[in-house]
Amino acid sequence: MIKSILGTSAIAFVAAMPALAQEVDRTGWPTSFTVGTASQGGTFFVYGSGYANLISEELGVTGGAEVTGGPMQNMALVHTGEAAMGMTTMGPAQVSIQGKSPLAPGLEMTNVCAHFPMYETPFHAVALSSSGITALSEIPAGSRIGFGPAGSTGDTYFPEMLTALGIEYERRNGGWNDLGGQLQDGLIDVIGFAAGVPIPQVAELEASNDVNIIEFTAEEQAMMTSMFPVSNFDIPAGTYASLTEPARAVSMWNFAIVNCDLPESFVYEATRVIMEDNARMMQIHSSASTTIFENWDKNTVIPWHPGAARWFTENGATISADMIK
């Protein structure tokens, strides 16, 4: 069963405080809920804990954050109902729905529905300036490239992207700090990052080295967006000391998810709470600056929960019927 595959998760609950200002149909509402996040200390955990608390306070339902293995595991937890809500990334969502999750090969996780847009995870590469590498096409065959921890979003998708671009490389894994040290020591040649910007490790590298932020060309962006669940993304000038102009990248959207069996009225109200109070969300984490209505269309993979779809369509979204569960 999924539970035995996923292992034990730690759950932190907060006491719920009723705060609904109007009467709503609470038929079938859960008495409590959890939000599957990731490891403590990361953006997923901070963001997820915060919005769980916000929903709990506003709707009067006990809720909290669940420590998990991240986007892939959250798909499984929400699919089985072990977590009512969760957070995922478009890539892991796509493979999980297709039945290709490494956690449960062959199981199509189709009982997961989209809730609301969160923020983007950009893919971009960094090399020491002394390497002479200024573009992806200039990465020499056989270069040693670090892609982050094994099984992470970056490690899952960045190698496939580079392979699609015809780049031959030796794959290396490790934490970002470890990979930064290896780059400085000449043990690897390039780091392929998939993380929210600015990445502290890049700033640390810049403190003692000249570095090149390697961007995608417009043609490479077009190829990536046609092959992978990513969108075009510009890393703003000034994000890093080395970046004097915007750099082209591609990014994978993170989306909040819910179990599709949750009552429509509950998910509608939970969506309303999040989407109509971005100021509160920004207090939780600055990445919530993109947790806004306009980004509803960044989901191209996960069918929408009817309750979430109702809120977004009432506010002007045009969600096709085949994308609503």
* Encoded amino acid at 276, one letter: E
- Please identify, in words, the CATH class of the domain defined by 2-120+255-323: alpha beta
- Domain spans of the chain? 2-120+255-323, 121-251
Q: CB within 8 A of 246, min separation 6: which ones?
A: 234, 235, 236, 237
pLDDT tens-digit map of 269-324: 999 999 999 999 999 988 899 999 999 999 989 999 999 999 999 999 999 999 99
> What's the pLDDT score for residue 35?
98
pLDDT tens-digit map of 202-214: 888 999 999 999 9
Tell me what percent of the residues of the chain surpass a pLDDT of 90.
73
**How many Å from the N-terminal Cα to the C-terminal Cα in the chain?**
24
> What's the pLDDT score for residue 175?
79
> What's the pLDDT score for residue 9?
44
Distance CA 194, CA 203 (A): 15
Whole-Å CA distances, 70 to 38, 43, 76, 161: 4, 11, 10, 21
Q: Is the fold of 2-120+255-323 the same as that of 121-251?
A: yes
The CA radius of gyration of the chain, in Å to the nearest whole number, is 20
Closest alpha carbon to 13 in 42, 30, 35, 38? 35
Task: Using 70 as the pLDDT threshold, list the residues of the chain that sit under it.
Answer: 1-22, 41, 151
Architecture of the domain spanning 121-251:
3-Layer(aba) Sandwich (3.40)
- How much is the pTM? 0.77
Q: Look up residue 241 and give its two tokens.
A: 């000391």
Q: What is the mean pLDDT of the chain?
A: 90
Tell me what percent of the residues of the chain surpass a pLDDT of 70.
92
Q: Look up residue 99 and give its two tokens.
A: 């039945």
> What's the pLDDT score for residue 53?
97
> What's the pLDDT score for residue 135?
97
> What's the pLDDT score for residue 40?
73
Q: CB within 8 A of 321, min separation 6: which ones?
A: none
Sequence length of the chain is: 325
> What's the pLDDT score for residue 8?
38
> What's the pLDDT score for residue 106?
97
